[in-house]
Structure 1
């Protein structure tokens, strides 16, 4: 009998040790976790992800498949699960969705469940595809577009997971969404919003990162900037929260040039956040602007401003942290 009691007691202790008790999120020092996003880790990721080995990550091609497996491996190593089930990090997209113009492809997804509002989802997205190899054999590595966003999402995920390990689980759930087919017409994000893993009505926001590693010609004399697009289109609260977070933690010059409805570039309609915005989900698109290497084989990892990219990724992390942990869900007050 005593042996049985001792065994049950030991088993209970083992189970208790495995279950990490959540601590009040207000006690967390968010800067400790933001500082786990480092230029050295971003650089290490990107020199692999935007290498010739990945053959320009063209949708449905072997290089894109290799990139998808790289992301899966990283999430497994960080012990961040998939919302699709054990070891299944791919939302498969059949070629029929692409009108058979491209091979089967996949979005890559990982997920941290919220502690208090688990049904409310904060999406952090980036596209991981690029344009492949041209007829002369030139590889388009896509280091900035959008290797920079892709590896930043990995680092942001790691920052959240470090907080979880310390007992600071976000109050809302977070979906890390790496979409394919952006360069073919925002197809991966379109597929997700037509076949959502979580109901779109439960999706609080999409923070989308597409090119945050470079400096455009306009800002060569003052590189302490980031373009924000879409923050005020659907939610005044999201815009104000974004401004406050930046002022408190990162102090970038937030450039809203491309947020203008009359801007001829129409960037608001040209990256994956737009497929969420069409469903009245508030979005922010983080962007460094175009440069001479945009969509050329010369968009390589040696040209990335890693310290600047780190601070931009930290801004996105801080913003996601605030959205995930505020008392109330973001109010949509400008639905279209």
Structure 2
């Protein structure tokens, strides 16, 4: 009997060992990056930017369906909410909005860090869009910002796959899908005004808003992404980003819109800015404006899924480096 029990115990320990934390420096990060693939991004986006979601206008039924879709996908991946239990929503009351916008929700999922659990990396996108017009025409928002939102889902899956193989991140990661971006960055402002985790312990924000298309300046060669804000607060974060891209992805990093004198002022126009205002280093990933921006023609069939895959992998690989370095990105400038 003792031999039987000993064997059973040994087998149990071996089985459990597959889930024990391993040295993350020994991981082949590309094994996890390649789980982010064009086919899965396309499958998600054809649902998320479908007519069923009615343009995902903040506070309207289509936005509620989109929030439920995100919650369901995080639960399928086994990624918990930082709010506990089945509650993946940070409620954003109507009083947070100007005008008559209805109450809405940020959607949050969370992977706890193995060594620095109190230090938080935020990976964000906005999942709302502009809804429908008076004739019932639907603005699907496939690129804006369906592309960023499905990228966050795939990045979350890549991190969870790594964790299940024993290579969980050293720092905690908050996957933050915010509402109300189209209403004035309201969802991200509400989060930074009412943070689930202290902003002083939030080490960086990687924000993804429109990464599925090309603009006129890059029609001949789509192998690029605009980076905005990477050097505004942390030279170290900027250098880390450059190094990761050169090592793994080799996209052309275009800093045109990072110029403080650029009239578009994109640095101030997406959700990362509410983190930057709090001296949290950020990178904003963006493909530029195209002819279908905020039009009914921003549909999933227009997306370059090969580019979406490559850009999403860049965000993941950058996040991996931020999450697993010995030190958080050093802030050497102030907003």
Shared fold, TM over 0.5: yes
2:108·2:174 contact (CA, 8 Å) conserved in 1?
A: yes
**1:38: which partner in 2?**
37
Separation (CA, whole Å) in 1 of partners of 2:134 and 2:116: 50
Instruction: Determine whether 1:123 maps to 2:125.
Output: no
SS at match of 1:72: helix
Q: Deviations over 1:288-323 (max 9, x none)?
A: 000000000100000000011100000000000000
Residues 100, 262 of structure 1: CA spacing in aligned structure 2 closer, same or farther, 3 A cutoff?
closer
1:22: how far off?
0.3
Q: Deviations over 1:252-282 (max 9, x none)?
A: 1100000000000000000000000000000
Corresponding position of 2:218: 219
Q: Measured at CA, do residues 11 and 64 of structure 1 come closer, stay the same or move farther in structure 2, by a change above 3 Å?
A: farther
**CA distance in structure 2 between the partners assigned to 1:27 and 1:200 by the alignment:** 31
Deviations 1:24-63 (A, max 9, x none): 0011000000000000000000000000000000000000
The answer to whether the Cα contact below 8 Å between 2:18 and 2:165 also exists between their aligned partners in 1 is no
CA apart distance, 1:101: 1.7
Instruction: State the TM-score, normalized to the length of structure 1.
Output: 0.96
Aligned match of 1:78 = 77
Report the CA distance between 1:100 and its aligned residue. Answer: 6.0
- RMSD (CA atoms): 1.8
Unaligned runs of 5+ in 2: none
Matched, 1:174 2:151: no
Q: Structure 2 matches for 1:236-251, cutoff 5 A?
A: 236-251=235-250
Report the CA distance shift for 1:14/1:26 in structure 2 as closer, same or farther (over 3 A).
Answer: closer
* Partner SS for 2:66: helix
SS of residue paired to 2:65:
helix
2:159 aligns to what SS in structure 1? helix
1:1-336 counterparts in 2 under 5 A? 13=12, 17=16, 20-99=19-98, 101-336=100-335
CA spacing shift, 1:27–1:11, aligned 2, 3 Å:
closer
What is the number of equivalent residue pairs in this alignment? Answer: 333
- Where in structure 1 are there 5+ consecutive unaligned residues? none
2: CA distance between counterparts of 1:53 and 1:191?
27
Measure the CA separation in 2 of the matches of 1:290 and 1:298. Answer: 13
Distance 1:111 1:15 in 2: 28
The answer to whether the Cα contact below 8 Å between 2:97 and 2:183 also exists between their aligned partners in 1 is no
Deviation of 1:181 (Å): 0.1
**1:20 Cα offset (Å):** 2.3
Q: What's the CA shift for 1:15?
A: 11
Cα-to-partner distance string for 1:93-143 (whole Å, 9 max, x where unaligned): 111222562111000000000000000000000000000000111100000
Distance 1:32 1:146, change over 3 A: same
In 1: Cα distance, 2:93 partner to 2:15 partner: 43
